[in-house]
Chains A and B, each alone.
Chain A
């Protein structure tokens, strides 16, 4: 009996490993930036290019940095959710307009609505490189001390928002460091 059981068990084990392997998204690469300070930058704001934005200004707040672009199709999918979450006021959402054209970005926001407190223009993608962005949309939850605590690669889903981002943001907001 065991003679037949051993190959069967081995085979089932192999199938389980393959199933896990297929279920994982190879595009989700663990970011080395988790629990590291968010890279500093100072960029012109998208809507008012005469003003700038820097993460330094966000010290003491828990906030979400969302990397987006008008050419990015998944951003369009994510957009209605961001509008809803922005309205809820749970976490302020700031945009990083990545590798985009200013006019395109502005008309995109005009057409679909603007969930962002403001967006910073990363037109030449230099800041994106510092943040390890390789596919928009990507979102970073940054704590009061300017440390990246969570990164979502690809669009935020209701599941990710409710089970990961919101609870973590609440917890980060609680502690007064």
Chain B
């Protein structure tokens, strides 16, 4: 019986808490008035890595840095910069590491062409291996003794079958 008012108080606390939290909760990022621009911002952000949480794209990340960078990208696009210029802006500050598609240059040759070199190496190895094995299985004529043994074996086999 005594518990009843307590419950009411608890419920009220939760309710007030919820309302308060609602007020505190951050507003959603204002979308650009221009959906086309927003689409461009997101397309570029999807190509860029968020450095705070490295396995997320700038588009997916909710880190402060990612939000700031998206705003920066939006601002620059509004100012008339092309996608390429915006990406250059980000890589000039954070390096090629932010690009999900690394550029082809001497330092990334191994990354881009390494797998093909490995594949080529494996093919050469396979080719040589097969050829060497083929050379091992040379057909040589049977010697008379071998022939006799083979015939004996065949005969004994067929006998067993008929028996």
Whether B68 pairs with A129 at a CB distance below 8 angstroms is yes
For residue A135, which residues in chain B have a CB less than 8 angstroms away from its CB?
51-52
B63 — nearest CB in chain A belongs to which residue?
A134
**Cβ proximity bits B147-160 to A, threshold 8 Å, 1 near / 0 not:** 00000000000000
Q: A32-B92, A32-B93, A32-B95 are in contact. Are A129 and B69 (CB under 8 A)?
A: yes
In residues 93-108 of chain B, which contact A (Cβ within 8 Å)? 93-97
Interface residues of B, CB < 8 Å — how many?
A: 15
Partner of B95, one of A30, A99, A129, A131: A30
Partner of A125, one of B65, B93, B95, B96: B65
Whether B52 pairs with A134 at a CB distance below 8 angstroms is yes
Whether B95 pairs with A27 at a CB distance below 8 angstroms is no
Whether A125 pairs with B97 at a CB distance below 8 angstroms is no
A125 — nearest CB in chain B belongs to which residue?
B68
Whether B64 is near chain A, meaning CB under 8 Å from some CB there, is yes
CA distance A39 to B53 in the complex (A): 25
Contacts from B to A (Cβ < 8 Å) = 51-52, 54, 64-65, 68-69, 72, 91-97
Whether A26 is near chain B, meaning CB under 8 Å from some CB there, is yes
Interface residues of A, CB < 8 Å — how many?
A: 15
Whether A29 is near chain B, meaning CB under 8 Å from some CB there, is yes
For residue A33, which residues in chain B have a CB less than 8 angstroms away from its CB?
93
Whether A131 pairs with B97 at a CB distance below 8 angstroms is no
Q: A99-B64, A129-B68, A134-B65 are in contact. Are A32 and B51 (CB under 8 A)?
A: no
A132 — nearest CB in chain B belongs to which residue?
B93
Whether B68 pairs with A29 at a CB distance below 8 angstroms is no
Q: A99-B64, A125-B64, A134-B65 are in contact. Are A31 and B95 (CB under 8 A)?
A: yes
Partner of B93, one of A26, A27, A99, A129: A129
User: Which secondary structure dominates chain A's binding surface?
Assistant: loop
Whether B94 pairs with A132 at a CB distance below 8 angstroms is yes
For residue A132, which residues in chain B have a CB less than 8 angstroms away from its CB?
93-95
For residue A31, which residues in chain B have a CB less than 8 angstroms away from its CB?
95
Whether A29 pairs with B65 at a CB distance below 8 angstroms is no
B91 CB, min distance to chain A CBs, angstroms: 7
Whether A130 is near chain B, meaning CB under 8 Å from some CB there, is yes
For residue B93, which residues in chain A have a CB less than 8 angstroms away from its CB?
32-33, 129-132
CA distance A33 to B93 in the complex (A): 7
Instruction: List the 7 shortest-distance A-B pairs measured between CB atoms, nearest first.
Output: A134-B51, A132-B93, A32-B95, A29-B97, A132-B94, A134-B65, A134-B52
For residue B91, which residues in chain A have a CB less than 8 angstroms away from its CB?
32
For residue A27, which residues in chain B have a CB less than 8 angstroms away from its CB?
54
